[in-house]
Structure 1
């Protein structure tokens, strides 16, 4: 669990935020927020960094070797459990990763027809796990 932000990287975070908000019609007047964080960067897991990614994969391998999975369970649920356990284990305050999110795709066709390539990221996100590290937030747009 955490608070998710688009950050500089694959795509402009403001553009990604606006696209994401425009897809969800339930938001009558969406806005883009800008936040300031106060992290101990030793506890920010940056999966864009090869060293952090290797460390994450080592811990993931260990956790997965200890699991007894029920074949009837949903895989997405199992991924979430494993990921949350790893992040708790390493004490991550935040995680940065490149992702493919269809809601930020540039065209309605790509969003609606799932024409994107999920293995090729289209944005960079940060999940802030420790909300006390959000120092301030303001409406950007």
Structure 2
């Protein structure tokens, strides 16, 4: 069975709840790869360090890190590091906009009247649901996991610095454990 380790940065209280009751996919509407459970995975940087930095940036008083095993075998994976998958994503994105036109749905065009993340989440969710995707993977840029010099000087180069995974199907998360760190 093909399994990948993923690292989820959160607060200690959230981590204890997750360990007890399992992950609950986010459904806030502001997830850039759709609703699901997000992890840092091996790729452009150390996923453990990225998870720690994320947890510290969001939960400075009580950061925590969860390691999870995620099943890739028998999973439908959209890997946006692969050009063929990017082409598929763009084709399905176009289908999303065609559907909006067919149903006479108009998106607001003024950024102050909507959140750009909500649009990205709706598009990603449409693609995930239409293609029955379990897992989406993407190289991404997060200032929270940038190197210390970038953070110190407030420099955002916007060049991908980590690899993330959205597990849209929580049944693909086989187990999770709390990682201790100083």
TM-score for the superposition, normalised by structure 2: 0.68
Q: Quote the Cα distance in structure 2 between the aligned partners of 1:3 and 1:105.
A: 21
- Distance 1:42-1:130 versus aligned 2 partners, 3 A rule: closer
Total equivalences in the alignment? 138
Q: Quote the Cα distance in structure 1 between the aligned partners of 2:60 and 2:98.
A: 42
Equivalent residue of 1:31, what SS? strand
Q: Are 1:55 and 2:88 matched, yes or no?
A: yes
- Contact 1:21-1:27 at 8 Å conserved across structures: no
Give the number of the structure with larger relative contact order, counting CA–CA contacts within 8 Å between residues 6 or more apart: 1
Q: Quote the Cα distance in structure 2 between the aligned partners of 1:46 and 1:136.
A: 22
In structure 1, runs of 5+ residues without a counterpart are none
| Displaced runs of 4 or more, over 4 A | none
Equivalent residue of 1:32, what SS? strand
- Contact 1:43-1:94 at 8 Å conserved across structures: yes
Structure 2 partner of 1:140: 179
Structure 2 partner of 1:46: 79
In structure 2, runs of 5+ residues without a counterpart are 1-34, 101-105
- How much does 1:74 deviate? 3.1
- CA RMSD in angstroms comes to 2.0
Q: Quote the Cα distance in structure 1 between the aligned partners of 2:115 and 2:59.
A: 28
Q: Quote the Cα distance in structure 2 between the aligned partners of 1:99 and 1:23.
A: 17
- Contact 2:141-2:160 at 8 Å conserved across structures: yes
